[in-house]
Chain A
Amino acid sequence: MGMIDRLRPAFWDGATDGGPYRSLFNYRRLWRLSVALLAAVSLTPLCIMTVIDFNVTKRAVNQENINRTTITTSNTRRTLTYFLDERLAALGFAARVQTYENLSTQDHLTALLRDLKAAFGGFMDLGVIGEDGRQVAYVGPYDLLGINYADQAWFKETMASGSYISDIFLGFRNVPHLIIAVRADRPGGGHFLLRASVDTQRINDILAGLDLSGNGDAFLVNREGVLQTVSRSHGTVFERLDIPVPEQADRTEVVETSDAEGGLIVGYASIERTPLVLMVVKRQAELMRPWFAMRLNLMGFLGASVLVILVVILGVATYMVEKIFVADQTRAKTMHQMEHTNRMASIGRLAAGVAHEINNPLAIINEKAGLMQDLIRFSPEPPSPDRLSGLVDSILASVERAGTITKRLLSFARHLEVHIESVSLQKVAEEVLSFLTKEAEYRRIAVEVTADPAVPTIESDRGKLQQILLNLVNNAFQAMDDGGSLRVRIFRPGEAGVAVSVADNGCGIPAADIKRIFEPFFSTKKKKGGTGLGLSITYGLVQELGGTLAVASELGHGSTFTVTFPLDKGDAGAPAARG
């Protein structure tokens, strides 16, 4: 026996026995339905919750990443802005407290550069430029004295707006640097410029010192998208940036881009008063890694839950359906036994009536035989042969009468086994009524049988038909007072079937009860010992024969039970199980 066979529950192959009372349910369908329903109601919310949770946590992690990028970008921008502002302010202060004459002398300028380097750091050289654009004094590693800057854009800008910070460039010295310039007033009227180079090492240090998660990158670009500082993975200084440079933004902005590598989070902010833009770039895939680990846990948990739930559902559904199956089987067996008991009881009832009917011919035989003896014993002369012959004829006729009755009972009792044969409904009806003629006579119940001659015989089980009709006629008798009338009609309700109706003019059935009369153990004859099984058994028998049982009743005017059978379908097992 294989594993599958051992696991397969007993109900899977349907009813094993239980006789003609078929099961009420299709167990496989019941099982499938309950598994599907239970699975749907338990797994659907779980899956929906998982998806929601999945999305919520993803969004939360993403939002967190964006927030952190925003903060980093914002802080770094402030730091850089402060760094440059500090140097611009220092230069402005120097230009204000020193006179043009002082600054123009080499010694003073040297001392100033030294002080600036000591106090602030980052300054590389210092130059003084007159209003005409000519550099009048210079200290620093290069020989730049006398150069005229009048045509340079930064010169014009500084003259116009008072201060200037350049982007980062290589210049004459081939070292990345930027320049800061301020305009100062000469006491006698007119202006001059104080200009300094700032090396970008400090800026690089600030950017390198940032703690960036997710393989992040922080760098400066100018508005043309040229890198101003070294980046880790987006090119080196003065290369063109490989991601688009966003629009001018005064505030810190964060955008998400999606590309082949799983997307980037880009934070950017302009450094005030400069053409520089700070960019912080992080890789989504790196940032989401903790979340991926969590997602894996989530999926694992979901999978395990689904598995456990399915196992429990399968177990519970199988157990329940198995229980129903067992109960149903028991019910079917009980009903089968009930049917048998009912049949035996009706045979018992009939036997009592039959005993009465046999006793009458027996009494006649008794008297006739006794009379013959008396005639021989008491008569002075022997009785005439004619007289004796008449008495013997009476005895023989009575024996015949008793024999007919016993044969009828035997034929009724014989049909206990299921046996499909060609049956005439009229014959069966007459047979059944023959047992009840005496009772009808005593109770002055008029029994009328009308049969449409066009009704053909049907393939059916005679014993069950007898039982059905006997139950219906007995019920009708019980519903009627003495002097009632019973009409049994055999007719064709349509081409496909034949029908027997049993109509009485008895007490009728209340409308409230009519739905319940076919239920087992429903009885209104509680006092008189009714079991409440007669009609439910009759109903079962009719169904077994593939027929239908209908009832029409009017309280106080009688009831009509009509049994309709299909013409050629009467086998006990054929109709599919209900349910």
Chain B
Amino acid sequence: MRLLLVDDETELVSALAERLRLRGIETDFATDGDAAADKVRANAYDLAVLDMKMPGLSGLDLKKKLQRLRPGMRFIFMTGHGSEEDFRAGSAEAAGYLVKPVRIEALIAAVQAALAGGQG
């Protein structure tokens, strides 16, 4: 299982990646859309955790872009902003929708559920 974390908050993604690695999950992170795309082109990720709102690029747009690069990839949205609209869009588009701050157990459970489920 290989994960990609994308969030504009470096401190957040770096710490989260480290915690996941400590749990034996191979994890990379990127802090903007272009870096994420580069990483997706380079490696085969099973799943990406995307921030819903990033400067200049929304999580939904980034998801579409990455999906084109690597069809079959799964996605989970993670956001600090719990707007109704985002929740509906996020839930419909991705396997999971989590509101920050997220307990790591909940994140891992969502990742496993997403990978187990057929929908992507």
Interface residues of A (CB under 8 A from B): 352-353, 355-360, 362-368, 370-371, 374-375, 378-379, 391, 394, 398, 441-442, 444
In the bound assembly, the distance between CA atoms of A359 and B99 in angstroms comes to 9
- Between A and B, 9 residue pairs with Cβ closer than 8 Å are A352-B83, A359-B101, A360-B80, A363-B12, A367-B101, A368-B15, A370-B19, A374-B19, A391-B15
Task: Using known A-B contacts A368-B11, A371-B19, determine if residue A359 contacts B80 with beta carbons closer than 8 Å.
Answer: yes
In the bound assembly, the distance between CA atoms of A441 and B8 in angstroms comes to 11
Whole-angstrom distance between the Cβ of A536 and the nearest chain B Cβ: 27
Task: For B103, list chain A residues within 8 Å (CB).
Answer: 366
Determine if B93 is an interface residue (Cβ-Cβ < 8 Å).
no
In the bound assembly, the distance between CA atoms of A294 and B54 in angstroms comes to 97
- B9→A360 contact, CB < 8 A: yes
In the bound assembly, the distance between CA atoms of A438 and B23 in angstroms comes to 33
In the bound assembly, the distance between CA atoms of A379 and B23 in angstroms comes to 11
- B82→A363 contact, CB < 8 A: no
In the bound assembly, the distance between CA atoms of A379 and B21 in angstroms comes to 12
Taking a contact as CB atoms closer than 8 A, the residue among A355, A358, A365, A371 that contacts B18 in the complex is A371
Task: Using known A-B contacts A364-B15, A368-B15, A371-B18, determine if residue A356 contacts B55 with beta carbons closer than 8 Å.
Answer: no
In the bound assembly, the distance between CA atoms of A371 and B54 in angstroms comes to 24
Task: For B102, list chain A residues within 8 Å (CB).
Answer: 363, 366
Interface residues of B (CB under 8 A from A): 9, 11-12, 15-16, 18-19, 22-23, 53-56, 58, 79-83, 99-104
Known A-B contacts: A358-B80, A370-B104. Give 18 more (CB < 8 A): A353-B81, A355-B81, A356-B79, A359-B99, A360-B100, A363-B80, A363-B102, A364-B9, A364-B15, A366-B101, A366-B102, A367-B11, A370-B19, A371-B15, A378-B23, A391-B15, A442-B53, A442-B56
5 tightest A-B contacts by CB?
Answer: A359-B80, A356-B81, A366-B101, A367-B15, A363-B100
Task: For A355, list chain B residues within 8 Å (CB).
Answer: 80-82
In the bound assembly, the distance between CA atoms of A392 and B105 in angstroms comes to 22
Whole-angstrom distance between the Cβ of A262 and the nearest chain B Cβ: 98
In the bound assembly, the distance between CA atoms of A359 and B101 in angstroms comes to 6
Task: Using known A-B contacts A359-B81, A360-B80, determine if residue A394 contacts B100 with beta carbons closer than 8 Å.
Answer: no
Taking a contact as CB atoms closer than 8 A, the residue among B53, B54, B101 that contacts A363 in the complex is B101
- A367→B80 contact, CB < 8 A: no
Whole-angstrom distance between the Cβ of B78 and the nearest chain A Cβ: 8
Task: For A358, list chain B residues within 8 Å (CB).
Answer: 80
Task: For B9, list chain A residues within 8 Å (CB).
Answer: 360, 363-364
In the bound assembly, the distance between CA atoms of A444 and B9 in angstroms comes to 17
Task: For A374, list chain B residues within 8 Å (CB).
Answer: 18-19, 22-23
Task: For A444, list chain B residues within 8 Å (CB).
Answer: 55-56
Closest B-chain residue to A440, C-beta based?
B55
Whole-angstrom distance between the Cβ of A334 and the nearest chain B Cβ: 30
Most A CB contacts (10 A, CB to CB) among B18, B99, B101, B104 go to: B101
Most A CB contacts (10 A, CB to CB) among B16, B80, B83 go to: B80
In the bound assembly, the distance between CA atoms of A363 and B57 in angstroms comes to 20
Whole-angstrom distance between the Cβ of B23 and the nearest chain A Cβ: 8
- A365→B82 contact, CB < 8 A: no
- B12→A364 contact, CB < 8 A: yes
- B22→A378 contact, CB < 8 A: yes
In the bound assembly, the distance between CA atoms of A160 and B99 in angstroms comes to 148
